[in-house]
Amino acid sequence: MRFSDQLIALASYMAGEFDNQAQAIADPAWYVHLRLWQRPVPLFTEDSITLFAEQANIVNLEQAYRPRIIRLRERTELDSSLEVQYYMIKDPALVQGAGRDREKLKTLTYEQIEFLPGCTLNVTQNSLTTQTYHFQASLPPDARCCFTYRNETYQVSLGFEATPEHFLSYDKGIDPQTGKAIWGALLGPFRFTKRLDFSSEIAL
């Protein structure tokens, strides 16, 4: 299928290697210096553009964590708005480091990932110019995004903003008992700047 200009733009803005160096230097007590990778992966190509994402502390890039699959697609409704679906990777060790080594992503299969109900973001957009956009993605107010790993259940609040130059992550871990945020973007979003562009890897 032919993807909309908006879907292609969102995927292009998100595909890359990012860091939040300026933020970490300005406020090291609250923001760890991170490297973030979001790399196109050949899954759901019939109707979506899909990214593999992981991140690492800048002092230990070999120990990337929080691997996830991010599926960008157009809604089936007539309004043609965008949505973002999240999937977990059943065995993270299989793809650890794939942000820097895309060869590892070529072996990833549908059987190795699991859809996360309640973890689908709605996307809104504003035009910055005739060909550029500001995207904002957030969970619906009543959504509860959870996943189970090693017999432990975790709850997260997901959200982001994307422009051609920047990616802002609002991801937070939530205490399921109290509903309070316990890690992540506690004082505002992690502000990432794109250092390498992976948009040429998107299969259109």
Domain CATH code at residue 111: 2.40.128.590
So what's the pLDDT on residue 80?
Answer: 61
So what's the pLDDT on residue 1?
Answer: 67
Which residues lie closer than 8 Å to 15 by C-beta, 6 or more apart?
A: 38, 39, 40, 51, 197, 198, 199, 201, 202
Residue with tokens 């406020």: 27
- The widest CA-to-CA distance across the chain, in whole angstroms, is 48
How would you classify residue 96: left for phi > 0, otherwise alpha for psi between -120 and 50, otherwise beta? beta
So what's the pLDDT on residue 191?
Answer: 97
The domain containing residue 178 runs over which residues?
A: 5-201
So what's the pLDDT on residue 2?
Answer: 84
Mean pLDDT by 10 residues, the chain (204 residues): 91 98 95 97 95 97 95 78 95 94 92 95 91 94 83 87 96 85 89 97 88
In whole angstroms, give the CA distance from residue 137 to residue 124: 6
So what's the pLDDT on residue 44?
Answer: 96
State how many domains the chain has.
Answer: 1
Predicted TM-score (pTM) of this structure = 0.93
Give the burial class of 14: count Cβ atoms within 10 A of its Cβ; 0-12 exposed, 13-18 middle, 19 or more buried.
Answer: buried
In whole angstroms, give the CA distance from residue 26 to residue 108: 38
So what's the pLDDT on residue 42?
Answer: 94
So what's the pLDDT on residue 176?
Answer: 78
So what's the pLDDT on residue 183?
Answer: 86
